[in-house]
Amino acid sequence: MITESYSYTVAIPLVLFFSFLLIGLAGGKLKPIVSGVFGTFFLLVSTVLSYYTAYSYFFVDGKLNGAYQKLIAYDSLWLTFTDKLQIHMGVLLDPISVVMLVVITTVSLMVHIYSLSYMKDETGFSRYYSFLSLFTFSMLGLVMASNIFQIYIFWELVGLSSYLLIGHYYERPSAVAASKKAFIVTRFADMGFLVGILLLSSFTGTFDFLKLTDPNGSALTQGSAISFLGLSVMTWSLLLIFTGAAGKSAMFPLHIWLPDAMEGPTPVSALIHAATMVVAGVYLVARLFTIYVFAAPDALIFIGYIGTFTSLFAAVIACTQTDIKRVLAFSTISQIGLMMGGLGVSGYAGAEGLGYTASMFHLFTHAMFKALLFLCAGAVIHAVHTNELWEMGGLKKFLPVTNIAFLIGCLAIAGIPPLSGFFSKDEILTAAYEKDKILFYVQFLVAGMTAFYMFRLYFGIFWNKERDYHSKPHEAPFTMLFSLIFLSIAAAVSGFIPFSEFVTPDLKPFESHIHWSIAIPAIAIAVIGVTLASVLYRKDSDLPDKISISLGGLYKAAHRKFYIDEIYMFITKNVIFNYISAPIAWFDRNIIDNTMNGIAAITNFISVKIRGFQSGQLQQYAYVMVSGLIIIVLVALYFMNN
């Protein structure tokens, strides 16, 4: 449905693009703090607009006959290749895009405010803010995209701004390597995404989400009939699109870039690598959910299993890491895996869509508490100037506010009621329980491990033994604390939002309630995890070391992240470089280059030989002209007479 009344939403991203241009072009001339304030101000405008949009969409006029509408708020024809192949730029408003608007602008605003003091003494402050604006612009464009081609464009822009922000400290080789790794891995995955888009659109004949995701439309039935290697073309294209989603959302085995991305500034990690960009994959699957569920249910099962496996895998690694940001990174991977798992077990109509709702709900709550945890970690790093867990400890008396905020975040992610994580995780578990018991048990285990490793982090930072600090750690300044407090409140109370009233796959609200038969065991395992962490890490003891030694190879493997990076290095360096790239490089240098050089040499040789004709003798030229003319006339006469 096309509506005029929301056309102002097009300004939500464009304001930030303007901010990017302004700060990016004029940033060198402004005082750093001025560009920071500019960026924050523009984001505030966009946040207010987003909140207003959410309010009017959900509570005023988004509903028609009891179901939310997909509204095209803005649409313009951008490129016309043929009559059928046209690319639009537009704004699509439906429950998930509106929820994402709120999530992105909220977290981004908090990060902007937080960074005002966190990044204060850094060089490249203006650059940082212009890239933050660029990122927020592209992320908002991504979620508001009205067609799959537009989403692809913003998808790449998001990847680009992530690359720029990870490489913020570009004089550090590790940051450069991390940014390149993130870009290459996601770009590699995006290749699958692009092929998937082309397949999907060539068989359905449209890029438009409204047509693609109409459950009664013709788009879903086309392509299902044609099969390749035992799977229908729709399944293939959707699996390829999921490859792109898995790259952005760090699903196994494309997760390797996310832990390294922690080389970027901590607020960037909070914004991009915890709350917004990495959930773009989840968002993409949710956006195309109708196609998945009707045209390729097998792809959806695959997604469910990949997500759940990733969440277990990342949780195991998270238990062994000692860099606090990396623990949070693996925790992020694990939670995104849960969201994917939730999508994988969801159905379409009515209460069967619980998994979808739960996944979006968890996306929302996770954005709040994971941003909170990252910003707290930033405050801790700000105070003690290290990322290593075992160089911290006993910080609770130096950083009281951060302590409370971090505790709230940990309780929320661990799923202790009444904090937000409990509600969303409960819905995911319920959906999994009703659909697939194996996934349920794995996710249940992951819930316990989440509680364990988060409280390992919490006790390790704030309790445990006090270390020798160079200078006395001090609490963060007010702008940082403001963000922490705001996000703490959000993380604490956002669980009470009745999400199934707003976000469902078929757009019709349904009643959902807490399933105590699942919730109570889940709380129990979370409490067990917390208790275990408290026994091991609350006081300084050698028990953890003993346990890790007794686990032997398993611990070592988990600590080394199951050698996935090494496998990648082996494949790229030894196999691809030696057996594919090296011969190609040889071919390029010897065959291609020599062919070109040979042509140039032959041309040069001939031209040296024939330049004598250009003697500068006027009469010679005239002679050639006259005799040539006579010859031409003779030839013409010869042919005319025959």
Separation of alpha carbons 382 and 319, rounded Å: 24
Phi and psi based region of residue 172 (left: phi greater than 0; alpha: psi -120 to 50; beta: remaining): beta
User: Least distance from C-beta 599 to another protein, angstroms?
Assistant: 22
Beta bridge partners of 77: 88
User: Least distance from C-beta 602 to another protein, angstroms?
Assistant: 19
SS3 string of 85-116?
Answer: CEEEEEEEECHHHHHHHHHHHHHHHHHHHHHH
CA distances from 612 to 590, 600, 609, 625, 628 (A): 34, 20, 7, 16, 18
Which residues are near another protein by CB under 8 A?
A: 611-612, 614-619, 622-623, 626-627, 629-630, 633-634, 637
Nearer to another protein, 48 or 626 (CB): 626
User: Least distance from C-beta 610 to another protein, angstroms?
Assistant: 10
Which contiguous run of DSSP H or E holds residue 232? strand 231-232
Residue 437 CB: number of other CB atoms within 10 A? Answer: 10
Separation of alpha carbons 483 and 119, rounded Å: 14
Residue 453 CB: number of other CB atoms within 10 A? Answer: 27
User: Least distance from C-beta 612 to another protein, angstroms?
Assistant: 8
Nearer to another protein, 123 or 604 (CB): 604
Nearer to another protein, 552 or 616 (CB): 616
Q: How many residues does the structure list for the chain?
A: 642
CA distances from 56 to 5, 6, 201 (A): 10, 9, 33
User: Least distance from C-beta 636 to another protein, angstroms?
Assistant: 11
Cβ–Cβ < 8 Å for 394, 462: yes
User: Least distance from C-beta 609 to another protein, angstroms?
Assistant: 12
Q: What are phi and psi of 140, to 5 degrees?
A: -65, -40
Nearer to another protein, 547 or 637 (CB): 637
Nearer to another protein, 225 or 626 (CB): 626
Sequence-ordered alpha helix ranges (H) in 215-274: 233-248, 257-260, 266-270
User: Least distance from C-beta 137 to another protein, angstroms?
Assistant: 58
253 cis-preceded (ω within 30 degrees of 0): yes
3-class SS of residue 76:
strand
DSSP state of 385: S
Beta bridge partners of 75: 90
User: Least distance from C-beta 637 to another protein, angstroms?
Assistant: 7
Nearer to another protein, 67 or 632 (CB): 632
CA distances from 461 to 18, 92, 99 (A): 41, 44, 33
Nearer to another protein, 549 or 632 (CB): 632
Q: What are phi and psi of 73, to 5 degrees?
A: -80, -25
Is beta strand 71-80 parallel, antiparallel or unpaired with respect to 227-228? unpaired
CA distances from 155 to 92, 160, 291, 447 (A): 16, 9, 20, 30
In terms of Cα–Cα distance, which of 122, 128, 123, 157 is closest to 141? 157
User: Least distance from C-beta 601 to another protein, angstroms?
Assistant: 19
Which contiguous run of DSSP H or E holds residue 228? strand 227-228
User: Least distance from C-beta 616 to another protein, angstroms?
Assistant: 3
Q: How big is the chain by its Cα radius of gyration, in Å?
A: 29
Separation of alpha carbons 506 and 69, rounded Å: 10
User: Least distance from C-beta 598 to another protein, angstroms?
Assistant: 24
Nearer to another protein, 472 or 611 (CB): 611
In terms of Cα–Cα distance, which of 210, 229, 105, 110 is closest to 150? 210
Cβ–Cβ < 8 Å for 276, 108: yes
Separation of alpha carbons 533 and 413, rounded Å: 15
Can you tell me which residue has the tokens 């003697």? 615
Nearer to another protein, 591 or 637 (CB): 637
User: Least distance from C-beta 600 to another protein, angstroms?
Assistant: 19
Sequence-ordered alpha helix ranges (H) in 319-399: 324-344, 354-384
Separation of alpha carbons 147 and 168, rounded Å: 32
Nearer to another protein, 553 or 616 (CB): 616
Nearer to another protein, 67 or 637 (CB): 637
Nearer to another protein, 66 or 612 (CB): 612
Nearer to another protein, 579 or 639 (CB): 639
User: Least distance from C-beta 603 to another protein, angstroms?
Assistant: 15
User: Least distance from C-beta 642 to another protein, angstroms?
Assistant: 15
Nearer to another protein, 585 or 633 (CB): 633
Nearer to another protein, 603 or 615 (CB): 615
Q: What are phi and psi of 88, to 5 degrees?
A: -105, 160
User: Least distance from C-beta 622 to another protein, angstroms?
Assistant: 6
